[in-house]
Amino acid sequence: MTRITVDIDDELLATAREVLGTETKVATINAALQTVARRKQVRDAITLMNSVEMDFSGSEDSFRYGGGRDLSQLEAKARRPREDSPPADPA
């Protein structure tokens, strides 16, 4: 672990502590850093998944017992932003 001395906005730290449910300043800062790192990993995974072409043609006939679901519109629906999702990070 790296040990550093930094000036931190007390109000932001208190808000972060409340949101993250942490007990100490160190735990709050570490949890906030983990959250940011996870967001980047998720963005990278989504970018990778978006780079793969999805082909669901014939999906309605591919399952046993009378066919499956028509997944032909799944890709378009999956790539559409959800109304309740937060705005994308500019990073």
Provide the number of structural domains found in the chain. Answer: 2
The pTM assigned to this predicted structure is 0.59
Does 31 have pLDDT greater than 90?
A: yes
Query: Does the residue 41 lie in any domain?
Result: yes
Of 38, 41, 27, which is closest to residue 19 (Cα–Cα)? 27
Q: Which is higher by pLDDT, 20 or 59?
A: 20
Task: State the pLDDT confidence band at 77, using cuts at 50, 70 and 90.
Answer: confident
Whether residues 17 and 42 fall in one domain: yes
By residue range, what is the domain housing residue 60? 55-82
Are 59 and 73 within one domain?
A: yes
Tell me, yes or no, whether 89 lies in a domain.
no
Element containing residue 27 per DSSP (H, E): helix 25-50
Domain-located, residue 22? yes
Torsion sign across C-alpha atoms 43, 45, 46, 50: positive
Q: pLDDT tier at 79 (50, 70, 90 boundaries)? A: confident
Same domain, 36 and 61: no
Quick one: which of 58, 55, 47 has its CA closest to 91? 47
